[in-house]
Amino acid sequence: MGTPLFVVHGGPGYPHNGLNNTAELAENGYPVVLYDQLGCGLSDRPEDLSLWTVGTFLEELDALRQHLGFKKVNLLGQSWGGSLVAEYCLRYGENIDELILHSPLIDSKLWVEEADRLKDQLPDGKGERMRELELTGDTNNDEYKDLSDLFDDTFVLRVKPKPQDVLDSLRGAGLPVYRTMWGPSEAFATGNLKAWSIIDRLKYIGQRTLLISGKYDEATPKQMQIIADNISDVKWELFENSSHCANLEEPEKYIQTIASFLSSTIAR
């Protein structure tokens, strides 16, 4: 049996369903573990908002590894999940063989700056309207939700209609987690991750790393280049026809890319 692959979903607060197709990687001879982080999906949903911190989810991930009895694992983290597995490598690096970062958040301030720039690509001044509503704090209404949905359709998932797994993820969302840690939309941070950054610590990640992102991704090339420049052993694959969810936008290439990366590890 090969080294298990733990798949860590994004959000925070959106369950694993949108990454269900990564289970196909189990055909390569190693277990694939998908789970819902605390506060969303089928996991418990405590009402204590003080739980929603990076530390909680680091402890949860390590507890899961220990519970399943795995000494070493590979990690695949998408979006916020990429942030989490990067933090995990820095705290529990002895437990990790290989690392896969799929469109990770690495610096909240930079993420929001890039999202603000991407808003200019939205049609009919809709990006400017998003900014106006954010500046006045008027984000809890249908107009802002519609604008946020347009941003997501352009830079998060460009597949229409949305796959069933994505609809299931949306239904299983733990919005208190998302809003406490991030904010009202992908493009605007107001939560406790607002000042979070791992940029200065990327150089301490020693694991062999695969970085995946999309050409139209909210995790923009500017952000991903920082990872490529700071992790010593990293390979960056840019998916030309994807935004933030390459596993759903170019699924065959996505699975093949990861399988090839992990297979080359086994062959070393």
260 is catalytic: no
**Strand-by-strand arrangement of the 73-78 sheet:** 32-34, 5-8, 73-78, 96-102, 208-214, 234-239
Q: Pseudo-torsion of CA 106, 110, 111, 116, nearest 10°? A: -170
| Best CA proximity match to 221, nearest among 128, 106, 82 | 106
CA distance to 37, 88, 90, per residue, from 60 (Å): 8, 11, 15
Query: Is residue 7 a contact partner of residue 254, using CB atoms and an 8 Å limit?
Result: no
User: CA-CA distance, 133 to 141, in Å (whole number)?
Assistant: 10
Among candidate residues 103, 217, 242, 243, the one labeled active-site is 217
233 is catalytic: no
User: CA-CA distance, 227 to 58, in Å (whole number)?
Assistant: 21
Among candidate residues 79, 103, 213, 242, the one labeled active-site is 79
50 is catalytic: no
Query: Is residue 227 a contact partner of residue 234, using CB atoms and an 8 Å limit?
Result: yes
Which residues are CB-contacts of 163 (< 8 A; sequence separation ≥ 6)? 18, 248
| Best CA proximity match to 102, nearest among 226, 241, 245, 225 | 245
| Angle, CA 182 vertex, CA 109 and CA 135 arms, to 5° | 65
Residue 123: other Cβ atoms inside 10 A: 8
Catalytic residues: 79, 217, 244
